[in-house]
Structure 1
Amino acid sequence: MKLLLLLIIALEISFTTIVSLNVALVILAIIYLLAHRTRLRTLGWLVLLPLLPAIGLWSTQYINGSGDRTLMAWVLFTRIYAFVFTGATFTLTTDVLQLTDSLEQNWHMPAKFAYGVLAAYNLIPRIRHEVQVIRAAGLMRGQVLSFWSPQLYFKAILISINWSQNLAQAMRSHGFVEDAPRTHYRQIPLTKVDWGIVITGVILLQIGVFVIPWT
């Protein structure tokens, strides 16, 4: 439900030109992240990483835009941060396993796709390790495989394909059949509280867009 609320927020602020609303969303997102004990260093990166594209959008709109260029420049600048920080409230506080279980059980995502997402997520640490092994093996042969080396990524892709085939065989050997009726060990039900949070969030967003006289 958190994902649904964030999608609604992202869609709505994409069509609004209210700077103060974007700033308010950023502040609320920071408060939410701090309440979930997000490290200050992480918050600092969330401020610094979007800074260059935000400045680029601001300057492009201010120099080449039409209409109220100053307003639109700040709208685009703050919108970038609103997207980043509201997105961070999801990515930094949501467990991937619970997310995929919820999407499969409550939103009827195909089980094959849900398990594929989990497999890809869990393979990331192994891929990083294999990249280090490939680079070390290259150095032993006198080859320096840099970050931009196509050979490095080609070998990593081949290893990933092999892993995916092994995973598919393992799932079939454990009796996994797509579209077959299944029970779930981990139940992720949608509660009235979840629906209440979404409805309240949407109502507050509409009040912020249409009622509050932002400046």
Structure 2
Amino acid sequence: MNPSFKFVLALIISLEISLKTSLTTNLLIIIFALLYLVYKHISPVKLLLTLAVPLIAAFTVFATLYWFAPQPDLYNAFSLASRIYVYTLTIYCVSIDTSPENLARSFEQNFHLPSKFAYGVLAALNIIPRMRQAVKQIRTAGMMRGVYLSFWSPILYFKAILIALNSAENLAQGMESHGFHEAASRSVIVTVPVKQRDWLLAAFILLSFNLALFTLT
């Protein structure tokens, strides 16, 4: 499915279940999301981590609404706690086979977002590995001088910000030298088309979800 369609679909589902309580629908979404992840050959370790990480948040919501509420409601507690897993699993289903680069390109081509937004996102994503390497180099250089820069050291982040500003300036100059201009139309290197099956599949999923949401308890 088109990356933009998957993102909007997950967003609509998350918004609708936050407005209407339906434990059965939440459980169905969780089951289908897990089946989709298994279909995408997710490793058992990642699947267990995906289920274990939201457990604390889900348990906190359940305990607050059931054990510490003036009027405990088991159904409402389970329903709101299951929403944590719905949010987590739907976003994971979107991201498992959709790279940030494809999502940014899809937003630009299919939703007509400004090109400076798409290129800014791509630039930020590509600079993250360089920043990690720069932080390691700064800490190594400090240790060679007998100075240990901890994770929360302001000196470390000050130097990293200076490197980021320098990299941003070099990136801006590089884009201008390659003819980038905000108002000019640009050709597309990697196309992200919207196919008819994307519309049909998105409509089918959205219709099935709303039928379950408003008919099941």
Name the TM tier (shorter chain): over 0.9
Which of 58, 64, 68 is 1:60 aligned to?
Answer: 64
2:211 & 2:106 partners in 1: Cα distance? 29
For residues 5-84 of structure 1, the aligned pairs below 5 Å read 5-65=9-69, 67=71, 69-84=73-88
How high is the sequence identity, in percent, across the aligned residues? 41
| Aligned mates of 1:39, 1:150 — CA distance in 2 | 38
| Structure 2 letter corresponding to 1:192 | Q
Is 1:88 paired with 2:129? Answer: no
Deviates more, 1:151-160 or 1:202-211: 151-160
In structure 2, the partner of 1:197 is 201
- Where do 5+ consecutive residues of structure 2 fail to align? none
Query: Structure 1: any 5+ residue segments left out of the alignment?
Result: none
Segments ≥4 residues shifted beyond 4 Å: none
Distance (whole Å) between structure 1 residues aligned to residue 148 and residue 189 of structure 2: 47
The Cα shift of 1:68 comes to 5.2
For 2:211 and 2:166, locate their aligned partners in 1 and report how far apart those are by CA, in whole Å. 52
Q: Does 1:138 align with 2:131?
A: no
Mean alpha-carbon deviation: is it higher for 60-69 or for 153-162?
Answer: 60-69
Superposition deviation, residue 119 in structure 1: 0.9
Residue of structure 1 equivalent to 2:131: 127
Is residue 167 of structure 1 aligned with residue 171 of structure 2? yes
Question: How many Å apart are 1:154 and its aligned residue?
Answer: 2.1
Q: TM-score, normalised by structure 2?
A: 0.92
Structure of greater relative contact order (alpha carbons < 8 Å, 6+ residues apart): 2
Q: What's the RMSD between the two structures over aligned residues?
A: 1.5
Partner of residue 180 from structure 1, selected from 181, 184, 188: 184
Greater alpha carbon shift after TM alignment, 9-18 vs 62-71: 62-71
